[in-house]
Structures are given as structure tokens and as C-alpha cells.
Amino acid sequence: MRLNKYISETGICSRREADQWIATGQVTINGRRADLGVVVGNGDHLSVNGEALPPVELEVKRSKIYIALNKPVGIECTTEREVDRNIVDFIDHPDRIFPIGRLDKNSEGLILLTNDGDIVNQVLRAENKLEKEYFVVVDKPITPAFLRGMANGVPIHRTRTQPCRIERINKITFRIVLVQGLNRQIRLMCAHFDYSVRQLCRVRIGKIQLGHLRSGQWRKLNPAEISGLSAPVRVHPRGGGGG
């Protein structure tokens, strides 16, 4: 298998990014700098950006796996097995799979896992505008000004979040729909307005709903859900918007 394809299928980057890393000398095979277009085989040892990957294990006609997990609080969305309570050991799937994106350790709800590197790129690519829906509990009453500010965009990570849909559910709970996936985005957006997040649960990614999946349980995606990952949908909120 070509090196760029193999790296992308681990889920850490796209093929284009892999090519850039190879070209700039950030990838080694068996301790030697890799060249563009090289192929890898079983047992080869790769290092990307200074981090070692597991030895190459190529599978013949590997079937694609797509899983929805209701991640509990306390599980880390990492494939690094030395990290306590990592998501790979938690789900204990017989095949090598990895999470699509992440939910931070203190958050819960829907996260997808797969062995398909190409679908990872489709889900995470910002221009695809795949919606992610969350229910969030904060530490004090929600005001109209807070909702307007969150909906219009908030300065975090030296950028500004894209406008989003948000509605108040009760005194301290709101529903928010994002198409971005910035690190700790909702928590940092809330902190900008002096709110602290007490509970955060993701309930939808595109057409895939958390539904009645209990905490810690997982299920396979059906064909319609898998195809929907590359065909984002727009679901309008019930009731009012950002005001």
C-alpha cells in the first residue's frame, strides 16, 4: 500500500496532508526518511511527526467498520493505549478502529469510530458543514444576550466561531447545532460569556442520532447512516432561535 494512503487510513490526516509530511521529512520508515510514492508492507515501522505508529499490518479486502458509541464521561478519545481509559480499550473491538474527531474527557454522547480513513476526512472537513447537535447544562440562568452572542460567533483560538443555531431548553439548559469542530469549542464559547459547562452531551452527527443508545453501549451504523456522512443534512430547530 502507498505510504500516503496507509497514513491517511490511520485517521490522523488526509492523503494530501500525508504527502506534505512526507515531502518535508516528517515521516520515516524503519528509521529512514520516507520518499513520496513509496509503498509499505507488513512489519514496517513508521514514525510521523516524531510519534511512532503501530507496526504496519495490511489486511486483504479489509471490511469497513462504522460504529456509533455513547461515550461516557471519563473516557479519553485517543488511540494511545498507554492513556488510562482510552476509547480503543474501552470499546474493545476485535478490529483496529479509531474515533472520528473527539469528545473531551468530561463530555459524553455520540461519537463515531471506524477503520475507514477516507470517511474521517469527509466528516471532519469544515466545508462539508456536517452538523453536530449538543445539549448543554450551564452553571447559571441563560439570558437572551447569551443566546444572541453564542449564535453570532465567539472569538476563540485566534479565530471567530461560525454563526450557529441555539435555543434555550430550560433555565440552565440549551441546545446548540454546530458545523465546526474546534477543540473544546462549546466550553470556550460559554466561558467567553462567564458561563461554566456542567454537562455536555452530543446527540447527533449529521443524520446519525444518539437515540436510545445507553451510556457505554455501541452499535453498527446502517447503510443509510453511512451514506449520509457524505451528504450533510440541515435540521431546523424547534421553536425560537438565538434570541
Assigned domain for 114 exists: yes
Return the CATH number at 101.
3.30.70.580
Residue 39's domain comprises 3-52
Residue with cell 431546523: 236
- State how far the Cα of 137 lies from the Cα of 116, in Å rounded to an integer: 33
Let me know whether 202 and 135 are in one domain: yes
Assigned domain for 13 exists: yes
Return the CATH number at 159.
3.30.2350.10
Q: pLDDT, tens digit, for every residue of 84-134?
A: 999 999 999 888 899 998 899 999 999 999 998 878 777 776 556 789 999
Instruction: Kindly give, in sequence order, each residue whose CB lies less than 8 Å from that of residue 106, ignoring residues fewer than 6 positions away.
Output: 73, 74, 200
SS3 for 102-155 is CCCCCCEEEEEEECCHHHHHHHHCHHHCCCEEEEEEECCCCCHHHHHHHHHCCE
Q: Which residues are catalytic?
A: 104
Q: pLDDT, tens digit, for every residue of 7-32?
A: 888 778 888 888 999 999 999 999 99
Q: Is a pLDDT exceeding 50 seen at residue 174?
A: yes
Assigned domain for 160 exists: yes
Assigned domain for 143 exists: yes
Let me know whether 87 and 165 are in one domain: no
Q: pTM for this structure? A: 0.71
Assigned domain for 158 exists: yes
- State how far the Cα of 78 lies from the Cα of 87, in Å rounded to an integer: 6
**What is the count of structural domains for the chain?**
3
Give whole-number Cα distances, 231 to 130, 217, 221, in Å. 8, 26, 15
Q: What DSSP string describes 4-72?
A: HHHHHHTTSS-HHHHHHHHHTT-EEETTEE--TT-B--TT--EEETTEEPPPP---TTPPP-EEEEEEP
Pairing of strands 98-100, 108-114: antiparallel
Let me know whether 113 and 135 are in one domain: no
pLDDT of 129? 74
Assigned domain for 241 exists: no
Considering the chain, what is the average pLDDT of its residues?
A: 88
If residue 190 lies in a helix (H) or strand (E), which one and from where to where? helix 185-192
Let me know whether 139 and 186 are in one domain: yes
Let me know whether 153 and 90 are in one domain: no
pLDDT of 59? 61
pLDDT of 96? 86
**Amino acid code (one letter) for 118:** D
pLDDT of 234? 47
Indicate the SS3 state at residue 187: helix
Let me know whether 107 and 143 are in one domain: no
